[in-house]
């Protein structure tokens, strides 16, 4: 469960009707039913995202024939963080209620009423005692580390989380287009120029997303993420590959390809040989252009 109170359950697949709300209680019930059946199974472990996952097929909406696929996941790291958050939140609520004892407290929020039994004086307004609802708190603690993805298409838990994570990364990149592409101010003088600029920015964003994905895949294969494997740093490093005109009139690389540059190029399926070949071809074009003058 997340801190905002919203259900952290997502819909993946083209046939999901987003207007229909999935009741959180139903998902909680499904998680509780399957708790302990997959959290330590090695064949359920996704090393890439460090989670255990399983898939349940079930109808979620009344009167609906189509079944949904509920992909349940568990993360040890997430469980620790959420348990600490739950305990700290309970501690804060308890401290607040202790201050309210002996005072008139008619309107206490639903969260407090969920985790505490409130006892009042005979007037029904003055708080006499706040007693922990241990069952509710223990259930919340037991659900720490669990989350679910709901899909309308048949897929495995691994496919579901990989599709969601991939979509999440793409959405973050598109939300960041103002930072990368200067969308906060267009600085154009006509509608035609505006359309052209937006089109070029859109193409640049697609390329940026592709570069990001290739670099990310390379880092996962390497098992580490060097500082120069981000998009800005990688592009800056590749900009250092330059050609210069030597005394014999032939264009050649200014210096050899570095180890870092080779790693970045390998992310895109390129090698030093590809760079040298392109250098020769570009050099021929430049030389022919100069001779034609």
The predicted-structure confidence for 13-64, as pLDDT tens digits, reads as follows 433 333 334 557 788 889 999 999 999 999 999 988 899 999 999 887 777 7
Residue ranges of the chain with per-residue pLDDT less than 50: 1-21
Tokens found for residue 59 = 């109808």
pTM metric for this prediction: 0.58
CA distance 184 to 187: 10
CA distance 50 to 136: 28
Predicted local distance difference test score (pLDDT) of residue 265: 94
CA distance 6 to 168: 18
Local structure of 73: helix, strand or coil? strand
CA distance 93 to 115: 9
**For the sheet containing 146-151, what is the strand order?**
9-12, 146-151, 68-74, 51-58, 45-46
CA distance 202 to 145: 38
Rama region for 36: left / alpha / beta (φ>0; ψ in -120 to 50; rest): left
Q: Can you give 88-152 as a three-state secondary structure string?
A: HHHHHHHHHHHHHCCCECCCCCHHHHHHEEEEECCCCCEEEEEEECHHHHHHHHHCCCEEEEEEC
Predicted local distance difference test score (pLDDT) of residue 145: 92
CA distance 224 to 258: 19
């Amino acid at each position: 469960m997340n801190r905002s109170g919203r259900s952290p359950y997502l819909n993946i697949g083209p046939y999901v009707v987003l207007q229909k709300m999935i009741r959180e209680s139903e998902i909680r019930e499904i998680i509780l039913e399957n708790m302990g059946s997959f959290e330590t199974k090695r064949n359920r472990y996704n090393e890439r995202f460090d989670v255990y996952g399983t898939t349940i097929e079930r109808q979620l909406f009344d009167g609906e024939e189509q079944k949904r696929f509920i992909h349940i996941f568990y993360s040890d790291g997430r469980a620790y963080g959420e348990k600490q958050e739950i305990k700290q939140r309970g501690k804060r609520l308890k401290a607040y209620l202790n201050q309210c004892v002996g005072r008139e407290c008619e309107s206490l929020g639903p969260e407090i009423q969920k985790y505490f039994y409130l006892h009042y004086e005979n007037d029904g307004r003055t708080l006499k005692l706040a007693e922990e609802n241990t069952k509710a708190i223990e259930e919340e603690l037991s659900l720490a580390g669990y989350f679910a993805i709901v899909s309308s298409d048949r897929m495995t838990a691994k496919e579901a989380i990989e599709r969601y994570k991939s979509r999440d990364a793409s959405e973050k990149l598109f939300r960041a287009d103002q930072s990368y592409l200067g969308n906060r101010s267009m600085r154009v003088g006509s509608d035609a120029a505006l359309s052209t600029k937006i089109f070029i920015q859109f193409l640049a964003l697609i390329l940026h997303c592709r570069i990001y994905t290739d670099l990310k895949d390379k880092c996962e294969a390497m098992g580490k993420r060097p500082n120069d494997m981000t998009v800005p740093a990688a592009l800056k490093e590749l900009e250092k590959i330059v050609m210069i005109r030597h005394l014999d009139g032939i264009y050649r690389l200014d210096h050899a390809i570095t180890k870092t540059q080779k790693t970045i190029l390998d992310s895109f399926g390129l090698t030093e040989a590809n760079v040298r070949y392109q250098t020769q071809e570009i050099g021929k074009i430049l030389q022919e252009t100069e001779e034609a003058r």
